[in-house]
Structure 1
């Protein structure tokens, strides 16, 4: 049994803590904000490796996560379903991400927004993040993870044998590198009028469009502004999101607006998942997941467990 402190309480931190505890380690998870206050809570929760590298590793991590989500669909408290939807393509088809997807097909023209030449129809996990994060916290407590509220400013503050840095945008400062950059994502929340199919049209000529339906609301987007760190919703951006999504998804034309949210994606040239020594401390880093924290969460958590056990990188 190794004493491990996980710094970070979003989906990456919580899955890392849970996987480590399930592997028999003594785990403390320290977070400066509760899970409901993290960028993970704003996420649409669709399994898709968005804005993340390197592809050759992402496929493996994503496939592991997809299979773990498959095992959770019969647990309503976990907030995981599998839903069919359309990934719209407006440029050359680049379908590297389908490697881990069981069933997919070409989208018919009637399934595509006007002007879109092609797309992929597939069934993938859809995770209702406030529900899933609460379930992760409960599972962590059940297997003995100590969930502490606090702010770690330096890995030297931590007394355990190993520190797992999974603090999103704050991670770089803890280990002395440039760390991830923020990419501002604003979404609109609409009451769900019965929409069941998701749609993503990242390259829509009027701006990014997506509609991700959950039982009571639809997460509609969106924006992806690298380097922007303002977390207050912008009314003009909000109006633009509503206009685009209602044009592309007519079922939402009269849906009640529930609000707007902003999250800052932690974007890096590649996910930093490695073992290192920082100021004499054993550290495993797990950050830089961009817009794919949910998608890679369990795969990366499994690798964290391996790195803690082996004491060296991939």
Structure 2
């Protein structure tokens, strides 16, 4: 066996897992069917927030570990793509969120006129907001600096990887439906609109896990990211112009200046939501070796990436 570990998948889950393992001294190679910048992760908004992900008890642990790591990475935002940004999550209160709220410094409840838009309450917090193209490039650089590598190649099963590594880590996202034979995975389509930022400095979100449409905007370098949708079972990667107009209109109800902002582009991604929650467990196939599954992170892959990577390392080393 020529490698200690092969990680299948080059999105934020796969790359973060690979960086974690390489940092612990493992020889790591990432196999991905597309460049990291072409993955679903590159499309993400991406605000640290546990959204559309289960199970709740484990999510808190994974999310908090990730939060601490992003707080460190925010010291060099130009390189890592991670910034700490103030904002408001509307139409919810602290009592409606998970135990993770106690780990967010300064998180507080708002009511009345303190909440933008037609909402009676919300919470304010300074949270990691991640420029995903920059962050994915940073992760790849960190992997290579630790002696790891990335190879773009098609993967039709885990057998070939298992023949070349002691450990295979399945971070294939929606691809795990076929690779791992998991019929619990389903796509949840998200569409975004990128516009010139008309002066918005704080993030805003009002997204209900049970609704297909939401309103959020995230100020990223050189653009304002508007969202969004959560369309169960939809697989089209083509932006829908009607949906795009509706997204802009919803965001403009919160910040009217968004209505006239120049549109820079459109993005669509398929979130890997799994019935029953994230699959993060190890098994030993008949051929020997170790296969660790780490997929099904729904709309919160960025939020739990480092926590899940740490758990993968425990399984690999345990």
TM-score scaled to structure 1, two decimals? 0.94
Cα distance 1:78–1:205, how it changes in 2: closer, same or farther (>3 A)? closer
Q: CA deviation at 1:74?
A: 1.7
In the other structure, the counterpart of 1:133 is: 136
Q: CA deviation at 1:277?
A: 2.1
In the other structure, the counterpart of 1:209 is: 215
CA distance in 2, matches of 1:91, 1:202: 13
TM-score scaled to structure 2, two decimals? 0.93
1:210-229, Cα deviation, whole Å (9 max, x unpaired): 00111211111110011111
Check conservation: 1:181, 1:226, Cα contact below 8 A: yes
CA distance in 1, matches of 2:258, 2:117: 17
Q: CA deviation at 1:175?
A: 2.1
Within the candidate set 184, 188, 195, 2:193 is matched to: 188
Is 1:86 equivalent to 2:92 in the alignment?
no
1:111-132, Cα deviation, whole Å (9 max, x unpaired): 3244312100011101010110
Instruction: Describe the SS at the equivalent of 1:196.
Output: coil
Is 1:63 equivalent to 2:64 in the alignment?
yes
CA distance in 1, matches of 2:211, 2:187: 24
In the other structure, the counterpart of 1:306 is: 314
Within the candidate set 258, 276, 287, 1:280 is matched to: 287
1:42-74, Cα deviation, whole Å (9 max, x unpaired): 100100010000110001100000000111112
Matches within 5 A, 1:3-42: 3-42=4-43
Q: CA deviation at 1:179?
A: 4.6
Cα distance 1:206–1:170, how it changes in 2: closer, same or farther (>3 A)? closer
Within the candidate set 243, 248, 256, 1:242 is matched to: 248
CA distance in 2, matches of 1:262, 1:256: 19
Q: CA deviation at 1:181?
A: 0.8
Check conservation: 1:83, 1:123, Cα contact below 8 A: yes
Instruction: Describe the SS at the equivalent of 2:253.
Output: helix
Cα distance 1:63–1:210, how it changes in 2: closer, same or farther (>3 A)? same
Cα distance 1:226–1:91, how it changes in 2: closer, same or farther (>3 A)? farther
Cα distance 1:127–1:179, how it changes in 2: closer, same or farther (>3 A)? same
CA distance in 1, matches of 2:94, 2:137: 39
Cα distance 1:216–1:208, how it changes in 2: closer, same or farther (>3 A)? same
Cα distance 1:92–1:307, how it changes in 2: closer, same or farther (>3 A)? closer
In the other structure, the counterpart of 2:119 is: 116
How many residues get paired? 310
Check conservation: 2:111, 2:120, Cα contact below 8 A: no
Question: Which consecutive segments of 4 or more residues in structure 1 shift more than 3 A?
Answer: 90-93, 203-207
Check conservation: 1:16, 1:302, Cα contact below 8 A: yes
In the other structure, the counterpart of 1:77 is: 79
* Unpaired runs of at least 5, structure 1: none
1:92-123, Cα deviation, whole Å (9 max, x unpaired): 95121413211111224223244312100011
1:123-146, Cα deviation, whole Å (9 max, x unpaired): 110101011011111111111111
* Unpaired runs of at least 5, structure 2: none
